[in-house]
Every structure is written in structure tokens, then in C-alpha cells.
A and B are shown apart, each in its own frame.
Chain A
Amino acid sequence: MSWINKGTTGLILKLSPLMLPYLVLFCGGVFLTVCQSAGIFTPLPHAGRALDAYGLILSDPSFFASFGFSLGVALISAAGSVIAGTFLAYRVWQLPAKLANAALVYKIPLILPHISVAFVVLIFWSQSGILASLAHQLGLIQAMHQFPNVLYSGWGLGMILAYTLKGTPFAMLLVMALLVRFDVRQIQTAAMLGASGLRIFFTIVMPRLAPALHSSFIILFLYSFGAFDIPFVLSESRPGMLSIHVYNLYFKHDLARRPEAMAILTIMFCFAVIFIIAYTKIVTRLENTVRKL
């Protein structure tokens, strides 16, 4: 190893506990996904040409429906979580010390696994659920079929609700971490100068919270876009989330369809990477700061 100096060797050695698994398992895993999408290293010898699977996927309108649907669910739930999380975190931060402990209930959905959060949504929002019963008792509906169809409207509202319920406390957590370092005197000064509560929030607090907002949005958006657990409990027959599509292709068809599953995964991976790069670029340009993530 004469071609690298001693300092670099030490650096590489120290980084290796992370770099080796990263390269072998993560990069290697993605590499194998891409290979298998082209029919290389698949369980069954691949008969067709390398890009056949992509041809099949991209000529299937239901793939684009799924893609758009996943995108919509992820976008709405991530935006909703970040907005609600920021607002709630700001209000919790302003709570007097003796009430602040009670606010810790926000951590409950953080602890619950995704599938349980989906179950909670099921209990609350199905047409025979808690909210329908409540609406009945309040005289708003006479029969359960009059309760708005939330879970099976074809718009993925159930999944959006579940992701938002899970994502809001997450955004709150990241925002609160920044808020505790925030100087209260800035707000007091602004208030003394006559700024309204809204104005204070948008011109003084928000810019400081931007890093947390961006990271929580990216994390939540990409998670909802590609995760499996919540759709597995709450998804409708169609259009399905991409992850369900992949699961069905991988586990419920014969091995010859593996390249198609892998092709969808490859497309999802590329989308995620492009999204991260584009998002950070745009944010950097807009705010002219160095790094957000």
C-alpha cells in the first residue's frame, strides 16, 4: 500500500468499520438489484435481453399509476407531517415548564411500529369504526354507510393518515431539537417591536428551523414512497403502492418475474437518489446555504 501515505491509511482504517459494510452490503445490494433487473445473477437463467424487464415495466400503465399514486401519498403525508409537526413543536416549545412534561405524549406514535399505527387508523376511520360511531351518536349519520369513505376511496387516504400520524411526531422531534437552542430573546424583541405572532413565526422562527424541516421532509417523503409495512395493512386493491407491486412480483409469481421486481426497485432507487440531489440543490440555491442534510 505504498501508493497512499500513512495518514490516509490510518484514516481508511478508522473509517473501515463503516465503509466495508456500506460498500459490501449497501452498494453491493444495490448493485445486485441492478444486475438482477438485467437478468444477471437471477435464480433462474434469464432468457431474454438485458433490458427486457424495463420494457415490460415501462409498457405497463399500471406501473405508472402505482408510481404516481406512491408519489402522491408520500408527498401529501410528508408535507402534512412537516407542517403539523412544526406547528405543534412550536406550540409545545412555548408551553410553560410545568405543562411541558404532559406534552411528551407526542412520542407515543414514535414508539408504535408502523403496522400498529395502520391498525389505529383502521379502528378509527373504517365505516364501522370509532369515528363513525361518534358521528352516529352525534346524529350526523344514521347508518354506517353514510360515514365518509376514508379507507377505500381509491385515494390512499388511509395510508396518508397513517403516515401523517407516524410522521408528525418525527418532525416534531427534529424541530424541537433545534428549538431548544433557539434564543427566546429574539422573539421577545420582535414582539416588543410590535410584530404579530404569525409574523414572528414566519420571519424569525421558520428560517432557523429550515434544516430540520428539510431533513424531516426528505426522510418522511422517501420513507412513505418506498416502505411496505403500512401499505400491506391499509392498501386497497388498486392502485397499489410500488412496494406492494414489488412484493407481489417477488413473492407471488414464479421466479421468471424476478427481473421485473428488481427493475422496479432500480427505478425506485434512482428516483430516490435523484430526488435527494435535486432537492438539496434547489434548497441550496433558494437559501444560498451550504448544506441541509
Chain B
Amino acid sequence: MIKKLTCLIFLLILPCLITLPSSAPAQSISNEPLLTLSFEQIQKQARGTLVRWYMYGGWAHVNAWVDTYVASEMKRRYDIDLKRVPMDAGVFINKLLTEKAAGKKKGTIDLLWINGENFKNAREAGLLFGPFSGRLPRVRQNVDPDSITYDFGYPVDGYEAPYGKAQFVFEYDTARTDTVPTTIDELKQWIKNNPGRFTYPQPPDFTGSAFVRHVFYAVTGGHEQYMAGWDPDLYKTNAPLLWDWLNEITPFLWQKGQTYPRDSAFLDTLFARGEVALGMSYHPPHAQNMIIQGSYPGTVKTFVLDDGSIFNTHFTAIPFNAPNQAGAMVLADFLISVDAQLSKFRPENWGDFPALDLDRLDPADRGRFNTIDLGPATLTPEQLAPVAVPEIPAPYLEALEQDWKTHVLDK
């Protein structure tokens, strides 16, 4: 009987398998009918719908901001229900790739929070809908087009709408730590003098990955050489300097570098609980946010290294098979509105820098941004601007993340 039943399995499964497509061509869709509509028509179409926004879920305060402020405003202003879905960017790109290969025309994701190598991979695989950001009135109105031409060296071409700006800072507790390093070389010495008190999130976590890029810039002579795009020979010559630097500090890291925090939230926890002395974040007011929440003591301050502090823009994008592209466009447009950017900027909510061009706003709105108190833990724009350096082109980032595993973790 078992044998007959085995035959039955094949019979039952066969129909599912026959329907598999041979292969799906990776072509980006153009001439979307939706993009010929006016934005008012799109808003009208989006009324009463549900928008599913897939985003990194590791930051409780960001989740709370989306679930409360954004969700209630979307409902109130546009009669749109917002559902936030926590998922790592790499994972949802993978999900979309699978859906594309399966020939799934209607997916489940409406909007993505994305940038960098994930955007590049998504574009190259034809996973994104667009170009749409030029159709968003608030992007046209409030955003400097030059600030959103490239994302990690990859042309945006209107397939992403700007959402926020970030710049990398370190955090320390003045009650526990008197002096902090000011350069990468001093940081190395500081780590050696304070064994077990420093670590960084394991790449490909973006904060940890950004820390590695800072070291890469600093020990190989600055960022300018990489801006021209991917150069394998240059990478091959320069990368060993980075691995040497990182391997030199490994024995002095938290847990002797045997293990690394899984993500930046985990590092925040170690820092908050005093297991490590330095924290790091992609958001300059992050420390202030944590102080307001009660996770960090009020004595925490932030600092940057003179070698540079990477800044970048993060975006939202719409998948090729988003079931509610109209709703996603309305949400992307709302996120770049003055109100949303202002609410997001407040350190008690999140402290993510606005992606708006403040010069384009009317004076009253500009004033609202200028009066926000970023708190004593946050560095001033005058302290942040001089050290700001751009992100590296995405292929470097991918190579660094991949090779970090072989050259540092598995060493």
C-alpha cells in the first residue's frame, strides 16, 4: 500500500510543478498606467485601501513612530490603513526575487524602506516599480533633485523617494568615560587600552557595516578614490589594510571578538547596560532619543572622528508587484511632507534628519525645523558638517561585507 501511496504523492504534486515558469526575464516595467494619472486621481484611487510597508524592525522607537503617528495621520488624511511589517531589507529583496521567479504578479508588499546595495540589487533584478518619485508633488516641491541623484553611487532614476538623512556618530557615557578618541588611530589605541569595552554590530548590519567603511576610508587614504565607481584592483590593494586593522583590534573587542552583536539594537543594549563603553548610531540624535526613553542615562554624549563621518540618504521604493501602488505613492509622498519630516526629526520620536531642502520651504516651515531642540547629547550641524563624507559605491560595500566574514570573523 505504501508504494501505491507514494505514486499518489507524485500525482498530487505534479500539477504544481508543471506550472513552474521556465524563467522570468528581468526587465523593468515602464509605462505604468498608474503613472499617467494625476496625483489627485491617485489619491482618490488610494482612498479606503490598505498599504503594507515592509521595513527594518529592530528599532522599537521607529516602529512606535510608524505605528502611531504615521498610521493615524494616513488614516485621518487619506483614509488609508497602514500596516507595518518588520523585515530586514535583504530578506524582503530575496522575497521579491522569489516572487518574480515564481511569476507572481500580485505580491504583498506595497512600500519598502530601502537604500544602498539593496536598492542596486532590486533595480538590477527589475524588482521595482517606477519611475515614480518625480510624480510625488512633495518630492518636486521640497527636495533638492541633486541630493537624490545617486544612492551609494547607483543612479536613483526616480525609482526611490527620499525619506530621511543619516550621519554616523559614536556614543559614550561621560559618567563612565572621560576622554574619547578623535581619530581612527586613537580609536585603535583606545580599544587596546580598554579591552572588552568596544565592539561593532556584525556586518551586514548597516551600522556595523558603516563602521567598517569608516575604517576602510581612514586606513586607505580617504573616500575620494572610490567615488569613481567599482575598481576591483583598487579594492584588492586596499582591502588588506582594513583587515589588518580590524584583526589587530579583534582580541581587544567585547568577548575578544569571538562573537559580535547581531544588530545595532543589540549594541545599544550592551551600551545601555554598561557592557561596552562606546555605542554607535546612524542617527545623530539617537542617543538623545534613548535618553528620553529612559534606556540611556542622561550623561550620554556623542562624538565623531576627524577622519570623517559617513552620511547618506535613505529612501522608500515600490515593488513591481505591489498590490496597492497608488496607496504606496500616497504614503511615500506623505513621508516627505513637512509634517512627517518634522515629527520624524523630533528626538523624542526618532531623530532622523529631514531629507528636505530647507531653503525650498517657506520661512514659517523652516522655522519649525530650526526650533526643534535636538538635546544636549546631539552634535550641532556645525560639528557634523565638516566631517561628513559620502557613502561608498554599492559594489565596494558588498565586497567588504562578504570578505569581512572570511578575513575577520572566520580568521
Binding site for B on A (CB under 8 A): 8, 19-20, 23-24, 27-28, 31-32, 41, 43-45, 62, 126-128, 144-145, 149, 152-154, 236-238, 250-255
Kindly list chain B residues whose C-beta atoms are within 8 Å of the C-beta of A145: 196
Q: Is the CB of B259 within 8 A of A31?
A: no
State in angstroms the CA–CA spacing of A62 and B406 once bound together.
Answer: 11
CA distance A89 to B170 in the complex (A): 52
> In whole angstroms, what is the CA distance A138 to B278 when docked?
28
CB neighbours (8 Å) of A149 from chain B are 255
Q: What residues of chain A lie closer than 8 Å to B196, measured between beta carbons?
A: 145
> When A and B form their complex, what is the total count of cross-chain residue pairs whose Cβ atoms lie within 8 Å?
74
Q: Is B225 an interface residue when CB atoms closer than 8 A count as contact? A: no
Given A23-B8, A252-B88, A254-B94; 7 other pairs, CB 8 A cutoff: A24-B9, A44-B23, A128-B275, A237-B258, A237-B260, A251-B88, A253-B94
CB distance from B129 to the nearest CB of A (A): 20
Report if A237-B409 is in contact (Cβ < 8 Å); known contacts: A145-B196, A154-B259: yes
Instruction: Tell me the smallest distance from the CB of B4 to a CB of chain A, in Å.
Output: 9
Interface contact B13-A126, CB-CB below 8 Å: no
Chain A residue with Cβ nearest B4: A4
Taken together as a complex, chains A and B put the C-alpha atoms of A41 and B20 apart, in Å, by: 7
| Distance A175 CA – B410 CA, assembled complex (angstroms) | 43
Contact of B274 among A44, A128, A236, A238 (CB under 8 A): A128
CA distance in complex: A128, B254 (Å):
13
A45 contact set on B, CB distance < 8 A: 22-23
Task: Give A88 to B6 CA distance when docked, in angstroms.
Answer: 44
Nearest chain B CB to A142 CB, angstrom units: 14
Q: Which residue of A lies closest to B87 (CB)?
A: A251
Q: How far is the CA of A287 from the CA of B46 in the complex (A)?
A: 69
Contact residues in B for A24 (Cβ distance below 8 Å) = 9, 12-13
Q: Nearest B residue to A23 by beta-carbon distance?
A: B9
Q: Is B273 in contact with A126, judged by CB distance below 8 angstroms?
A: yes
Contact check, A41 vs B17: say whether CB atoms are below 8 A apart: yes
Q: Does B98 contact A (CB under 8 A)?
A: yes
Task: Assess whether B9 is in contact with A251, with CB atoms less than 8 Å apart.
Answer: no
Per-residue CB contact flags for chain B residues 260-279 toward chain A (1 = under 8 Å, else 0) read 10000000001001110000
Leading 4 A-B pairs by shortest Cβ distance: A43-B101, A128-B273, A236-B259, A237-B259
The yes or no answer to B102 lying at the interface (CB within 8 A) is yes
Known: A24-B13, A252-B204. A144 touches B410 (CB 8 A): no
B91 within 8 A of A: yes
What residue in chain B is nearest A122 (Cβ atoms)?
A: B269
Q: Which residues of A are found within 8 Å of B13, using beta-carbon distances?
A: 24, 28, 31-32
B90 within 8 A of A: yes
Cβ of A128: which chain B residues have Cβ within 8 Å of it? 270, 273-275
Q: Closest approach, in angstroms, between the C-beta of B119 and any C-beta of chain A?
A: 15
A28 to B409, CA, bound (A): 38
- Point out the residues of chain B lying under 8 angstroms from A32, CB to CB: 13
Can you spell out 10 A-B residue pairs with CB atoms less than 8 angstroms apart?
A27-B6, A126-B273, A126-B275, A128-B275, A149-B255, A152-B259, A153-B258, A154-B258, A238-B259, A238-B410
Q: Which residues of B contact A250 (CB under 8 A)?
A: 94
A254 touches B258 (CB 8 A): no
CB of A151 to closest CB in B, whole Å: 9
Q: Cβ of B91 and Cβ of A251 under 8 Å apart?
A: yes
**Measured CA separation A252–B101 after assembly (Å):** 16
Assuming the A-B contacts A23-B8, A23-B12, A154-B259, are A144 and B94 also in contact, with contact meaning beta carbons closer than 8 angstroms in the complex?
A: no
Instruction: Assess whether A236 is in contact with B258, with CB atoms less than 8 Å apart.
Output: yes
Smallest CB-CB separation from B94: which chain A residue? A251
- A254, B259: Cβ atoms under 8 Å? no
Residues of A within 8 A of B12 (CB): 20, 23-24, 28
Contact pick for B5, options A19, A43, A238, CB 8 Å: A19
Per the 8 Å Cβ criterion, residues 286-339 of B in contact with A are: none
A residues less than 8 Å from B255 (CB atoms) = 149, 152
Interface residue? B202 (CB, 8 A):
yes
* Distance to closest chain A CB from B86 (angstroms): 13
Q: Contact: B91 with A43, CB < 8 Å? A: no
In this complex, what residue of A is CB-closest to B95?
A: A251
Nearest B residue to A45 via CB reads B23
What separation, in Å, do the CA atoms of A41 and B260 have in the docked complex? 36
Q: Do the beta carbons of A43 and B98 come within 8 Å of each other?
A: yes
Are the C-beta atoms of B101 and A27 separated by less than 8 Å?
no
Q: Give A250's nearest chain B residue, CB to CB.
A: B94
* Chain B proximity of A170: nearest CB distance (Å): 27
Is the CB–CB distance between A44 and B259 below 8 Å?
Answer: no
Q: B97 on the interface (CB 8 Å rule)?
A: yes
Q: How far is the CA of A252 from the CA of B205 in the complex (A)?
A: 12
- Closest CB in chain B relative to A62 CB, distance in Å: 7
Closest-CB distance, B3 to chain A (whole angstroms): 12
Residues of A within 8 A of B270 (CB): 128
Annotate B65-92 by CB proximity to A: 1 below 8 A, 0 otherwise. Answer: 0000000000000000000000010110
Provide the bound-state CA to CA distance between A149 and B258, in Å.
12
Q: Which residues of B contact A144 (CB under 8 A)?
A: 274-275
Q: Are the CB atoms of B90 and A251 closer together than 8 Å? A: yes
Residues 374-411 (chain B) with a chain A CB within 8 angstroms: 409-410
A252 touching B94 in the complex, CB below 8 Å, given contacts A23-B5, A24-B9: yes
Render B100-115 as a binary contact track against A, CB cut-off 8 A, 1 for contact: 0110000000000000
Q: Residues of A contacting B22 with CB < 8 Å?
A: 45
Query: Closest CB of chain B to A44's CB: distance in Å?
Result: 6
Which residues between 121 and 144 of chain B lie within 8 Å of chain A, taking CB atoms? Answer: 121
CA of A31 to CA of B196 in the docked complex: distance in angstroms?
48
**Measured between alpha carbons, how far is A252 from B263 in the docked complex, in Å?**
15
Is B8 in contact with A255, judged by CB distance below 8 angstroms?
A: no
The listed residue (A44, A152, A252, A255) touching B258 by CB distance below 8 A is A152
Contacts of A236 in B (CB 8 A): 258-259
